[in-house]
Structure formats: structure tokens, C-alpha cells
Chains A and B, each alone.
Chain A
């Protein structure tokens, strides 16, 4: 978002301030709505997290007990590990694939526009609907994926029914959904590249790989960081895909923080404990985002 230029008419002092104040009235209705459905839930969550409160029964104050219980809870700690594992894969894989796709779509070729539109379709498709189709594709006996494996001579896989493969399989769906977003972001970066460095490097006999590694990559790095930040925030919060395809199973093998949160809140209606999970969860997301933004600042200077 660019900051707009100063008014060209250079009005009298005080006039501008008065006008700015009248603009604030435009924001009031939205602030009321945002206050009610966004800010109020934040504050109410923090308040609820200090209570032992199950919906339907009386709440009583327990201070920080919910938090101390959580950080010693094996299942919660495991869910954090699952979340980090899932996030790492679901950030790195789409970044690599998305960048490759961006390099491909940056070139001119017949029906490029159409193919790019096709490639970006998964991004907007309703996650639940697509997750159901993937569930059928993952089916170990009748699923089409195992048939495809058999075509290239590979043994069938258990996919989401195997405790070790479930997270990578879910990441496969995530990559399918979100590599296009990375592609579009990086493509925006590629479009802004200057041509001169390439010309002089070619004259010096640089190979295609060298051009990519020493010119393209550093120049699109800021865009990759943006993509990484967004991907991280979304991957940490991933819910629909996991909930529909594996429900956190088999056992708790793919139970991420968000799945654990859902269980506490809407299976056990333990809203006090769930609120404490939310607070810790948000702290984790914020910490990750800050780390990545720090990386971004560093990337700007080198």
C-alpha cells in the first residue's frame, strides 16, 4: 500500500485536520462490526482461558491452571510437533514447486494464459469439497492413486491410513492447493525484473543455471519471503483438509494444534481449556511470523 501524496492544493492549516477528522466517521460502522466480531472474541478468549468452563455448567476461576495443564499435556505437546512438521513440509514444498511453475509461466508459449488459469484453479476450489475427492483418491483398495503407482511399477501405499505417511500425504493436498499462490506471487516478482543484468551476464558466458542462481534468485528473494510468510501462517492454521481427510488420525498421528483445539472446544465443549489453547496457538503463529519478518528485513540488506 503506497502512502498517497500530499494534497496538491496546499490548503490552509487546520482545514486539513478538520477534513481528516470527518473522514474518521466513515470508519466508525466498520469499527463497530470489527469490534464486535473480531476484537471482542480476542478479549473474551483471554478472559475465558482463566476459567474451568464447560458449556452447560458453571464456570469457575482457575487462574493459569489451564495453561500449566496444557504445557505438561503429552497430547498437546505432540500436536505442536505435528504442526511444525506439517508446516515445514507445507511451506517448503509449495515454495519450490511454485517457483518452478513461475519460471515456466514467465516464458512465452502458446495458450499460456489458459494454462495458467487452469493451474490456479485449485487455489479457489472449496477445500472441503476437494478434500472429499482426495479422500476417495487416497483409498488403499479402490483409490486411483494406488492404481497410478501400480502403473509405474510401485507397490501400493497406505497414504493417510499409515501413521508415518499421513502428514506427508496431507501435505500433498496442501501443495496441490497452494503451489499456485506461490507461483502467482513469484510471477509478480519475475515480471518486475530488469533485463540488463541478464544481457551482460550472457555476454560473459554465464549458463542458464548461473543466471538463475546469481541473478534471478536474489532478485525474487523478497517475493519468496512474502510467499513463505503467507504460506507459514496458513499452514500452521490448516484445518479443513486435515479434519475432512484424516480427522487427526490414525490415532493422533496427524493431530495438529488446530485439530486438538477443535476437539477441546466442540467435542468436549471445554471452552476454558480451548481458549487457553487459542492463546498459546496465537503466540506460536505470532512468533513464527516475527521470525520470518526478521528474515525479510535481513534479506533486504544483503
Chain B
């Protein structure tokens, strides 16, 4: 407080400058904190749109000139990217559908019977490394000759999708008002009718969030596909790793493939911005 003797106008001017400096400093900190997130994606895009010569020169070329789609074309024509994309859709889609079929009623049952203890099971499942499910399941699939099949992959992906759906749905059904259900019950509706025609339509937002989260986590899973899938049944993440890194070391196609894998997920994320946290904190098994 040394400025107390200064005239009023100088004081106001200094305060204005300080405010302005503070504003600039804040803007800078926003840039610093956001830029790594965006720059990695931009670099990925840049690598995928350049030819191999530009990708390997030093100092690096940042803006592709002219941009080429050759890497994307190569990835789809030479590496059966379309097949792996389809495998991923089948595996994640079926695993999510089965999880919805068993998980929506389960979430309802847990919420209405107030059996929250059942969700402790999900918490423990969340803590268990995904690899530890893989060893016993792999052994069993080996016994039944199911390894290298999509069936084995779908079954294993249930480890990811079922806990997410059950958890999201149990939480969602608890927030729904019970009055409508009770009114229907008094009118003579069975418990199943109440669930099917009163509770489920009301829970649609929860179902959408659960579906997207389960699908994303299943889609992103790498290690199940890497271990259980055969050449023709690989999911996208496993294919990108196995096929592209071992059979060719070109950066352009690799970046193009990485974009093909990630883009669907990033697009889906836009729809559930706010609910992501719930999925990531309590949701299913992820990572290794």
C-alpha cells in the first residue's frame, strides 16, 4: 500500500493497467493449458495428410502442402481397415446391446429394491486389472476352441459394458419420481408392466448416456482384441497396433489409421460432455 500518496487519476490508471496485465496473463494460461490437448490431435492430422518424405524430414513440416488423402486410401485398400472397423462395430455393438438387455432391468431392480450393496461388486470390478479377466477367459475359450472368434471377443467385452450400464441405470432410476409407478401399480399394472411402460420410457436419457459410454469404453479397449482375436477378427485398436506397426513403419498410414480409430469416439463424446465423468469414475473396467 505504498501508492496511497499518489493522486486519484494516477491510481486509477495504474489499476487499469494492472487489470489489463492480469487479463493477458489469464488468457496466456488458458492457451498454455489447452494447447497440448489440441496440438497432439493437430499433429496427428498433419501426419496423416502428408506424404512420407515430408513426414520424415527434419525440421518437421507442420502444414501439409499439398494435403493428400493417399495415407487414408492406402490404409483402407492394403490393410483391410474396413474389415477391422466392421469387427469393432460388431463387437462393441453386440456387447453394448447385451449389456443393455441385462443391465437396464438390473439397474431398475437395484434402484427399487434399494440393493445398493450390489454396486460394490461393480466397484471391485472397476479396480481389477482387465488383464486378470483375460487369463481365465482365454483358458476357457481355448478349451472350447473359441479363441480367434468374434464370439469370444463379444463375451469378453461384456466385462466392460455390463458394469457401466448397470451403474449408470441404477443411478438414473433412483432419480426418477416413484409416484407415477405407484399410480400405475394401484391401477393393477404388474411390476413388469410398470417397468416396461412407465419407468423405461422415463429413463431414456440415462439409457442414451449408458449406451454411449459402454460403446466408447468397449471401442477403446485394446488388450482383449490383441490377445483373443485372430487375423480376420481383430478389432480396430488391435489391428492398428499389430498390422501397421509390425508390417510397415510408415508414419503417414499409421496416423491415418489412428484417426480412423479415434474419430468415432470423439464424435460420440460431443453428445455426452457432462456425463463423461460419471462413466470414467464409477464406470467399467478400462485400460489394461
Contacts and interface: CB of A to CB of B under 8 A. Distances in A.
A82 B236 CA distance: 30
Contact of B158 (A9, A33, A119, A230): A33
A136 to B, nearest CB: 5
A29 B106 contact: yes
Interface string B209-244: 000000010011011000100000000111011001
B255 interface: yes
A29 B288 contact: no
Interface stretch (B4-12, B63-71, B79-87, B127-135): B127-135
Interface string B182-217: 100000000100010000000000000000000010
B105 interface: yes
B251 interface: yes
Given A4-B114, A24-B109, A118-B34, A48 B261 contact: no
A29 B261 CA distance: 32
A38 B38 CA distance: 37
Contacts, number: 286
Contacts of A124: 216, 220, 265-266, 268-269, 276
B47 interface: yes
Nearest to A137: B43
Contacts of A226: 281
Given A1-B116, A124-B265, A30 B131 contact: no
Contacts of B129: 237, 239, 258, 261, 278, 281-282, 285
Given A1-B174, A38-B125, A123-B276, A133 B135 contact: no
A237 B129 CA distance: 6
Contact of B288 (A3, A23, A240): A240
A90 B109 CA distance: 38
Interface string B108-149: 111111111011010001111111111111111010000000
A128 B222 contact: yes
A283 to B, nearest CB: 11
B96 interface: no
Contact of A237 (B55, B125, B288): B288
Contacts of A120: 37, 269, 273, 276
B44 interface: yes
Q: Is the interface of A mostly helix, strand, loop or mixed?
A: helix
B159 interface: yes
Contact of A130 (B99, B158, B262): B262
B273 A119 contact: no
Contacts of B118: 27
Interface in A217-243: 226, 230, 233-234, 237-240, 243
B36 interface: yes
B276 A184 contact: yes
Given A1-B171, A262-B131, A30 B33 contact: no
B133 A133 contact: no
B33 A100 contact: yes
Given A3-B114, A238-B288, A265 B134 contact: yes
A286 B127 CA distance: 8
B49 interface: no
Interface stretch (A39-47, A70-78, A160-168): A39-47
A126 interface: yes
Contact of A30 (B162, B222, B236, B257): B162
Nearest to A256: B288
Interface in A109-139: 109, 115, 117-130, 132-134, 136-137
Contact of A33 (B102, B134, B269): B102
Contacts of A129: 237, 240, 257-259, 261-262
B270 interface: yes
Given A27-B109, A30-B103, A124-B216, A239 B240 contact: no
Given A30-B102, A127-B287, A285-B127, A119 B162 contact: no
A3 B116 CA distance: 8
A37 interface: yes
A64 interface: no
A209 interface: no
Contacts of A33: 98-99, 102, 158, 162
A233 B126 contact: yes
A302 interface: no
A66 B132 CA distance: 16
Given A37-B137, A38-B133, A239-B130, 15 more contacts: A23-B191, A45-B132, A109-B27, A117-B270, A119-B34, A124-B220, A124-B269, A125-B266, A142-B56, A147-B60, A185-B277, A258-B288, A262-B288, A281-B129, A281-B132
Interface of A: 1-4, 7-9, 19-20, 22-27, 29-34, 37-42, 44-45, 48, 55, 97, 100-101, 104, 107, 109, 115, 117-130, 132-134, 136-137, 141-142, 144, 147, 150, 176, 180-181, 184-185, 188, 226, 230, 233-234, 237-240, 243-244, 258, 261-262, 265-266, 271, 274-275, 278, 281-282, 285-286, 289
Interface of B: 26-27, 29-30, 33-34, 36-38, 40-41, 43-44, 47, 55-60, 98-99, 101-103, 105-106, 108-116, 118-119, 121, 125-140, 142, 155-156, 158-159, 162-163, 166, 170-171, 174, 178-179, 182, 191, 195, 216, 219-220, 222-223, 227, 236-238, 240-241, 244-245, 251, 254-255, 257-259, 261-262, 265-266, 268-270, 273, 276-277, 280-281, 286-288
